[in-house]
Each structure stands twice: as structure tokens, then as C-alpha cells.
Chains A and B, each alone.
Chain A
Amino acid sequence: MMRAEQLFKTFNPGTPIENPVLRGLSLTIESGQFVTVIGSNGAGKSTLLNAISGDLFVDSGSLHIDDQDVTRMPAWQRAGMVARVFQDPMAGTCEGLSIEENMALAWHRGRSRGFGRAIRAEQRELFRDKLAMLKLGLENRLADRIDLLSGGQRQAVSLLMASLQPSRILLLDEHTAALDPKTAAFVLELTDRIVQENKLTAMMVTHSMRQALDHGHRTVMLHQGRVVLDVSGDERKQMQVSDLLAMFEKTRGEQIDDDALLLG
């Protein structure tokens, strides 16, 4: 379970470019729940994700994962609880390292690292089995540099990496945004599979209302640093993209001028 309460975060405070991104955002995600998050640019989606992962600290408010207060815990210490797939395929994997070295890094997520060999035979076997699941032929390319892979392949590997160790919450930061539609569909399908198989608690930020409604159990919309919409269950099942749009406009009493929200 992840519980965020009254999160506030302002960038460049006290300057002409002061930007209050989170303005009292509260959100609780129960264990095993898969939440999709939408919102226009600047709504605070990425900031929320970075706050949960520990990449940035909020100005005020509190963050709990299960019953542990992680508000001031640095990112590397939270890594045992928080798994992550980045928007940029380059960001989530380590250039210059091989596929198996990247997976070995993820295999040790949240565990202490010693001076033993990073990759043992049994791990290589496991990596091979996991990669074979993707049906991309990567199981025969363990020693290849990860930067030889396409964006979609890298995101697929990133997803596998995120599921190598248990996590309390999996953060997906528009992880299909940089991919072509076909590859994006493949990565999304893989996401659903991995989340279901491992019964993960997950939060997926997306730019697409379609994706937001088609995946997961619950959809949350952010606007101006707050949750303005929260739908789940039957209400959500019957919902269309147009309904979502209408509700958004009704809630905020203003027009959406961001085309990206309508796409997909």
C-alpha cells in the first residue's frame, strides 16, 4: 500500500519562475491495485512519481509505503520497495553494460551488494528464461550491449528488470510514450501480464485516456497538483474517453487545450 498525504512541492520558490507543482495532493493505493494516472502537462504526474521514488523530496506532506514513513528516505534506500520503468528507454537501462549486466543490476535491487560475482550461472539461466518470455530472441543475446536494442526492446527488458525482485509499488512513467503504436501495444500487453502474474501494486502515468481506461483497476486524474477525478469499479467500466473528458471539464470548469490528452 502506498499512501501520499497533502503533498506540496514548489520548484524555484521565491523566483519569477516559481512553479507550484504539487498543491496538497493526497492519494492512497491499496495493495494489488493497478492505478492509471492522467493529467495535462504540468499537472504534477511526473513530480508525483519522482516524489514516490525519492528522486525528489516534497516540501511538505507525508509518504508512506505500507506502514513505513519514506518521506525523507533517499531514492536508493527506497529501491527495495519501489520498482520503476522510465519514459525514456535510455534512462531505465545502463548504456555500455550488457543485457545480462543490466539484469544483474536489477536482480540486486534492494539487496546488499558484496564482492561476489554479479552474474552466476543460475542467474544467467533465470535471465534467459525471463527474456524468452518476450519472444524477441533476446535470450540469445545476453552479452550484447543494451544500447544495441531498439527502444521497444529496451522498455520490455526494463519491465522484466522491474519484476525481478518483489516491490511494494511499481511506477510506470509514460513508459510507452517514446514508442511507435505497435511496439507500445506490445509493451502495454506485457505490462498487464507482468502486473497480473506478480500481483503487483502499480501506478502507470499515461498521456492517453484510452490507455488509462483500458488498463488497470482505477483511474486518477491530476490537475494543478491535485487529484480531481478518481474512478474505479463499474463506474469506470462503463466509461468512455468522451465521458472522462466531459467529467474533467465539469470538474475544473474549463476547457482542455492539450491535444495530447485526446490522442490514443
Chain B
Amino acid sequence: MTPIALMGALEIGLIFALVALGVLISFRTLDFPDLTADGSFPLGGAVAATLIAGGHDPWLACAFAALAGAASGLVTAWLHVRLNILQLLASILVMIALYSINLRIMGAPNMPLIGSPTVFAPFIGEALENSWLVQPAVLAVIIVATKIGLDLFFASQTGLAMRATGANPRMARAQGVATERMVLSGMALSNALIALAGALYVQTQGGADVSMGVGTIVVGLAAVIIGETLLPSRKLWVITLATIIGALLYRLLIAVALNADFIGLQAQDLNLITALLVGGALVLPQLKAKLRRKGGKAS
């Protein structure tokens, strides 16, 4: 694998680290199985691409993308806490609806951004010779800042209340936590991060496409699961770190698998590999536990 291909894998890995942190909040912190991601990721992309193409500042475009994502998360959470729709179903409804909304926003199935300003552009040379380095570097700064921000949030009074809401809602209410509000705000935060990832994604890929969201949730979940399998911990700063590492590792594994000619895998096999990887990561801890039990019996 060439260094450029490696950095490319890292770049997408970093973007999906944001998705994974969002998934961590919904699936793990709030215990809310949320598939909105498949819609909020392209939503972020569509909003950002449309604003940038309209001549707006790319950072502003990112901010609006995150806001749009937050709104989509709010709708999913609202469908659940107020209208009592099953979590999974509520998120699927929003995801489906977002497909139409994303088409509306862009006015077309895709929107190229070739030559448009991006958040990376100010750091890239005339001949684009250093873009392969600059993009991952800028993304890394964003991810580290997000991670530190999340760690601080989870250690705060509100963050603790949100964690309690996911772990034991009845106890949380008994301690005066407005659990519904926590679910609403947590889901907004989760999908804001995912939409921000979408906004950054279209700026690295040179355009948005309405189908770019397919499988987002699986990749995010894969990262979370790989992370917690490799670095099991209860400490939140370790968990967020593990999630980021999981996302990077996932993209690297994919890149290696696709680059190794002797395996004969091609780009269209991506989703199959993803499914196998997530399946494997889910089974691995059980296998480990089984082996440990057997070992315990033998000794």
C-alpha cells in the first residue's frame, strides 16, 4: 500500500471516527438503537455542499450541517419519547424521510464540489501537492478537539445525568434527571456529530451524493465494537479513544483487504467485508469468554 493510499484510509477513518463517537452516544450512552445516521450523514453532506456551492464559508456550512443533524436526531428522539414509537422504527422513519429531504436540499441526486473552497483549502498548496497530508491533519485536530470536548461533557453534571439516563432511567428520574430531555439532547448531539462528519466527508471527496449514507450506521457501530473489543474499559476517556482507534483500524483493515490483490477482493465487496468484520467483532468477546470458562474448568 502506498503512503498516499494509507493516508487516504486514515482520512476516511478519521471522518468515521466522528460518526463512531455519535454512535457511541446513541447506542452506548443512551442505549438508543438509532439508525438515523444513514440519513443524517448525507444530510450533513447535502447541507454543507449546498451552502459551499452557494458561496458560503465552509466552516459556516459545517456548523449548519451539524445543526441540521441535531434537528434530525431530535425528531427521532421525539418520535420515541413523545409518540412512543419504537426506537429502531422511529429512527428508520426519519432515515427514510431524510432521503427525500436530502434530494430536496441538493435539488439533484448529487452535487460536485470540485474547485470549491473547503475547510482544508487554506492549508493546501497551489498544485494540491500536500492535500494528502493536510486533510488528515486538519481532521485529526477536529477529532481530538471533539474527543476532549466529549470527555469533559461526560464528566459534567449534565453528562453524568445523560449516562444515568441510558443505564437506569428510573433511578435517574428519582435523582431528578429529566430523562426525556436527556434522550432528546443526547440524540441531537449524536446526530450533530454524524452530520458534521458528512459535511467533512463531502469536502474531502469533492462532492455530495444522496446515496453516500448507505451503511453509515454499520461502519460507526463497527468502529465502536472494534474499539471496545480491543480496549475494554469503563473509563470514558478510554472508551472515546478506543472508538476513534476502532474507526481508524476499521478503515485500515478495509484498505488492506481491498489492496491485497491476491485475495481478489474489489471495491464492491466493501459492504460484505464490513458485515463480516462487525459480525466477527461481535462474536469475538463471546468466544473469549467461552475459552476462559473452559480454561477455568481445566485448571
Contacts and interface: CB of A to CB of B under 8 A. Distances in A.
Interface of A: 53-55, 74-77, 79-80, 82, 84, 86, 91-98, 101, 104-106, 108-111, 113-119, 145
Given A94-B167, A96-B234, A105 B158 contact: no
Given A53-B174, A109-B175, A145-B234, A116 B164 contact: no
Nearest to A108: B157
A200 B266 CA distance: 70
Interface string B167-185: 1101111111111000000
A98 B160 CA distance: 11
Contacts of B158: 113-115
A49 to B, nearest CB: 11
20 contacts: A55-B170, A55-B173, A74-B173, A76-B172, A76-B176, A76-B179, A79-B174, A79-B176, A93-B168, A94-B164, A101-B163, A104-B157, A105-B160, A105-B164, A106-B175, A108-B176, A113-B157, A115-B157, A117-B155, A117-B157
Nearest to A95: B167
Q: Chain B at the A interface: mostly helix, strand, loop or mixed?
A: helix
B200 interface: no
Contacts of A101: 160, 163
A110 B157 CA distance: 12
Contacts of B168: 91, 93-95
A84 B174 contact: yes
Given A101-B160, A118-B155, A118-B159, A94 B176 contact: no
Contacts of B170: 55, 91
Q: Chain A at the B interface: mostly helix, strand, loop or mixed?
A: loop
B240 to A, nearest CB: 15
B156 A116 contact: yes
Given A79-B174, A145-B234, 10 more contacts: A74-B173, A76-B176, A77-B176, A94-B171, A96-B234, A97-B160, A104-B160, A108-B176, A117-B157, A119-B155
B244 interface: no
B153 interface: yes
A108 B161 CA distance: 9
Contacts of B155: 117-119
B171 A92 contact: yes
B52 to A, nearest CB: 31
A54 to B, nearest CB: 8
Nearest to B157: A113
Contact of A114 (B157, B172, B175, B234): B157
A111 B158 CA distance: 11
A127 to B, nearest CB: 14
A74 B179 CA distance: 11
B81 to A, nearest CB: 12
Interface in B144-167: 153, 155-161, 163-164, 167
Contact of A97 (B157, B164, B173, B177): B164
